[in-house]
Chains A and B, each alone.
Chain A
Amino acid sequence: MKPLLQVEDLTIRLPKGGDREFAIQKVNYNLMPGEILCVVGESGSGKSMTANAIMGLLPKTIQVDAGTIIFDGVDLASLEERRARELRGNRISMIFQEPMTALNPLMRVADQIGEVFLIHTNMNAKQRDERALALLVDVGLPDPEKMMKAYPHQLSGGQRQRVMIAMALALEPAILIADEPTTALDVTTQAQILKLIKELQEKHNTAVMFITHDFGVVAEIADRVVVMEKGQMVEIGGSDDVLNNPQHEYTKKLIAAVPPLVAPHREALLEVTPVLTVNNLCKTYSTGGGWFSKARVVKAADDVTFTLHRGETLGLVGESGSGKSTVSRCVVRLLDSDSGEILIGEDAIQDLNTAELAPYRKRIQMVFQDPFASLNPRKTIGQIIADGPIAQGMEPAKALAKAAELLDLVELPRAALDRYPHEFSGGQRQRVGIARALAHDPEILVADEAISALDVSVQAQILDLLDTLKVRLNLAILFVVHDLRVAAQVCDRVIVMQKGKVVEMGVTKTVFEAPSHEYTKSLIDSIPGASWRSDLPDHIPQEGQPEKQPAMSSV
């Protein structure tokens, strides 16, 4: 079979002063008709670069240095703009990661899709509408006639992504490039979109180039896989071979870092000391609403009750909008709850004012999601960590000494004290975030999606670190997470939330093996690549045996 697209020795140079000389170097692969080729890699691996070069979407400062991209006998890398435009959206089309921003907010869906026909064909308005409607039916949108007249903001993320797919497939392109199309979506929506892409691809025999960072997604849909590392193509092969029998060290490392979807057996706690108790917590948001319109009321936490014990990791899982973040923020009193009780130890803290709350702040601390937004860019790492204890009345010199010890604890060099956050990678920043939280010697650590912004190999390291620290310092961790694979690995117990309500709570292993609520079942079924890596490998670090640790005098 003749390949549809041939990428040969493609090299793209980065502008001077970048973190490496080439964005991608000597990349070679073919795309066959009717196959799904997954390009996988961590952030900064250059996995999107080839796709951008194919579509002519490279920024002006970045140019193709050498190599060719042959499609239909022409080289896309050196094709003039006018002719490239004829191919774009017509023979080759693309869907993007962010469905929120990829659609024009001022255009109705029908016009949005119709525009593709307007540009590339001679159809009249009526024909365009007919085709657009047929496409909406094709991508499985409910009530397509109504959808035609909808504006993007009236659709959910998954629906928008379906509209994007409808647009991309409008002219039956030979190649569909999908750049992380499901990353911004919830797991159940992601499962639907992946299924849709696969169905449409089979129906139209389209070749799909699917760019992703998620090996679960790869396992779900790929026929062949290309693995990228720092601009180099390190492995290419059939998806079974690459996933189950990786040859290159880097691929092995990446796959090993993907948490398997089986909850390991965990020893139940011998003595149970509740450190955090939440009783009937309620929090309602109302938005809009004025003199004439009714306010939109969202129950973000609806009668939430749970207990967190010393030395335990309690997972709070759910999709976006389930209220898991709201609960975590109410618990640390960043948000005021409407009703219910929050007890730290034996003391209720939900109604305390700022001054009364101060002593409790030390006992419950939070690790934030975004490693780039959670550190003040104008402070040194030392200041960031020492600020908390100083605010609580510790002498600055002593607080700095403690910050240095904490850096040892989170396995960062002490030299980091005088440096600024921008000098560190995402994983290192997250370690700083953990050190800052630990500076108060808290009993409870609330980790709000603390690893979801990180690459999978870094995720694994941070999870290891959290696990070690939990055992060493006898912490109770409330682990807010949307990734069920992660939850299965690190949590002793999990709480599943949906629309502000707790729908299921129990020991992780039980919940994953025999979920009792429908929603939990659908969540677990939606995890991409569920059948792959469902067995426990032996190298998972065992609990209670911390790896090599620097000596600590006191923390």
Chain B
Amino acid sequence: MNIIKTLSQNKVAMVGFFVLAIFCLIAAFGPLLYDGSPWKMVQRPFLPPFENSNYLLGTDTLGRDVLAGLIYGTRISLLVGLVSTLIALLIGIPLGAYAGYFGGWVDELLMRFTEIFQTVPSFALAIVIVAIFEPSVYSITSAIAIVSWPPVARLVRGEFMSLRSQEYVLAAKLNGQTHRNIIMREILPNSLSPIIVLASLMVATAILLESSLSFLGLGDPEIMSWGYMIGAAKTVVRQAWWLSFIPGLAIALTVLSLNLLGEGLNEALNPKMSGKREN
């Protein structure tokens, strides 16, 4: 519980945490409380923000409610970010763990496999994957997961390589513990903190990726997302800048607060590594 205490004393991280918490609440309850479909044309197009109290953030090029779009977009952004990170962790942790723990040819094989993914620019790969399967929430989430697991595998491998020669791991071997037990119960719990930090930053990257895909028109056509909103407004930036600015701000805020939280987590979990504290 020490970690939570340290984290709560870090004001910057707490700002990030609260912004994120608000976004999460919006994602969970927003669509239930704010009635109005993001696709329905409700007013004249290009209604500027704060002019009509019914449509606080105005309307877009087709007269759709921007606020509704923003609220529905929060849901999809956070969902894709979280789920794809989760999948990436599920791929990356076991691969990295096996490579780092066993070393030798297992390591060679798994790391060369990882490098295949690392040599291809991740955004291009994501575009290709989404384009092959048709754009849907599922294909986007899997595409993001597939391009973002290699750093996890690398990190976990490094942690395992340094921890596997620790004396408590040797002692477990001498105890006759199985490899599975040693990996799961001796090494993994001790390498969790850098993984948690990395995961928080990965959520931010995933949200950016999702927005970029939607911006290019590769988003799920059924679902309103922040990236799609910017993409749709890109031709009218000079007449109606707010149409790009508002969802852009939402993306920036989410990513920024995730980064602040990740930084805070890093400091709380690895006080020696972050170099902020002098001992």
Residues in B neighbouring A378, C-beta threshold 8 A: 189-190
Q: Closest A residue to B279 by CB, please name it.
A: A59
Stretch in contact with the other chain, from B26-34, B95-103, B142-150, B175-183: B175-183
Identify the interface centre among A60, A61, A366, A387: most chain B CB within 10 Å of its CB.
A387
Identify the interface centre among A61, A370, A374, A392: most chain B CB within 10 Å of its CB.
A374
Q: List 19 A-B contacts (CB under 8 A).
A: A59-B278, A60-B278, A332-B174, A334-B173, A362-B176, A366-B171, A374-B167, A374-B168, A374-B171, A376-B189, A377-B190, A378-B189, A379-B185, A384-B168, A388-B176, A391-B177, A392-B176, A433-B171, A436-B171
Q: How large is the interface on A (under 10, 10 to 19, 20 to 34, 35 or more residues)?
A: 20 to 34
Partner of B181, one of A357, A365, A369, A391: A391
**Within the assembled complex, what's the spacing in Å between the Cα atoms of A362 and B168?**
17
Partner of A376, one of B173, B174, B176, B186: B186
Determine if A55 is an interface residue (Cβ-Cβ < 8 Å).
no
Q: Closest A residue to B176 by CB, please name it.
A: A361
Can you add 16 more A-B contacts, CB < 8 Å, to A362-B176, A370-B167, A373-B168?
A332-B174, A334-B174, A358-B176, A361-B176, A366-B170, A368-B167, A369-B167, A373-B167, A374-B166, A374-B168, A376-B186, A387-B177, A388-B175, A388-B176, A388-B177, A436-B175
Identify the interface centre among B166, B170, B175, B181: most chain A CB within 10 Å of its CB.
B175
Determine if B172 is an interface residue (Cβ-Cβ < 8 Å).
yes
Minimal beta-carbon separation of A167 from chain B (angstroms): 25
Minimal beta-carbon separation of B108 from chain A (angstroms): 15
Q: Is the CB of B171 within 8 A of A368?
A: yes
Residues in A neighbouring B176, C-beta threshold 8 A: 357-358, 361-362, 388, 391-392
Q: Closest A residue to B190 by CB, please name it.
A: A378
Partner of B168, one of A60, A332, A334, A376: A376
Which residues 351-371 in A have Cβ within 8 Å of B in the complex?
A: 357-358, 361-362, 365-366, 368-370
- Dominant SS among interface residues on chain A: loop
Minimal beta-carbon separation of B222 from chain A (angstroms): 45
Which residues 81-107 in A have Cβ within 8 Å of B in the complex?
A: none
**Within the assembled complex, what's the spacing in Å between the Cα atoms of A389 and B178?**
13
- Dominant SS among interface residues on chain B: helix
Chain A 291-308 interface mask (CB, 8 Å, partner B; 1/0): 000000000000000000
**Within the assembled complex, what's the spacing in Å between the Cα atoms of A357 and B176?**
8
Determine if A375 is an interface residue (Cβ-Cβ < 8 Å).
yes
**Within the assembled complex, what's the spacing in Å between the Cα atoms of A440 and B175?**
8
Residues in B neighbouring A357, C-beta threshold 8 A: 176
Q: How large is the interface on B (under 10, 10 to 19, 20 to 34, 35 or more residues)?
A: 10 to 19
Minimal beta-carbon separation of A532 from chain B (angstroms): 34
Residues in B neighbouring A358, C-beta threshold 8 A: 176
**Within the assembled complex, what's the spacing in Å between the Cα atoms of A60 and B185?**
38
Which residues 429-482 in A have Cβ within 8 Å of B in the complex?
A: 433, 436, 440
**Within the assembled complex, what's the spacing in Å between the Cα atoms of A426 and B29?**
53
**Within the assembled complex, what's the spacing in Å between the Cα atoms of A388 and B177?**
7
Minimal beta-carbon separation of B6 from chain A (angstroms): 12
Q: Is the CB of B166 within 8 A of A373?
A: yes
Minimal beta-carbon separation of A332 from chain B (angstroms): 6
Residues in B neighbouring A370, C-beta threshold 8 A: 167
Residues in A neighbouring B189, C-beta threshold 8 A: 376, 378
Minimal beta-carbon separation of A223 from chain B (angstroms): 34
Residues in A neighbouring B172, C-beta threshold 8 A: 376, 387
Given contacts A59-B278, A60-B278, A391-B181, contact A361 B175 (CB under 8 A): yes
Minimal beta-carbon separation of A341 from chain B (angstroms): 20
Minimal beta-carbon separation of B169 from chain A (angstroms): 8
Identify the interface centre among B168, B170, B177, B190: most chain A CB within 10 Å of its CB.
B168
**Within the assembled complex, what's the spacing in Å between the Cα atoms of A440 and B174?**
10
**Within the assembled complex, what's the spacing in Å between the Cα atoms of A124 and B172?**
59
**Within the assembled complex, what's the spacing in Å between the Cα atoms of A366 and B175?**
10
**Within the assembled complex, what's the spacing in Å between the Cα atoms of A358 and B166?**
21
Minimal beta-carbon separation of A118 from chain B (angstroms): 28
Q: Closest A residue to B169 by CB, please name it.
A: A376
Q: Closest B residue to A359 by CB, please name it.
A: B176
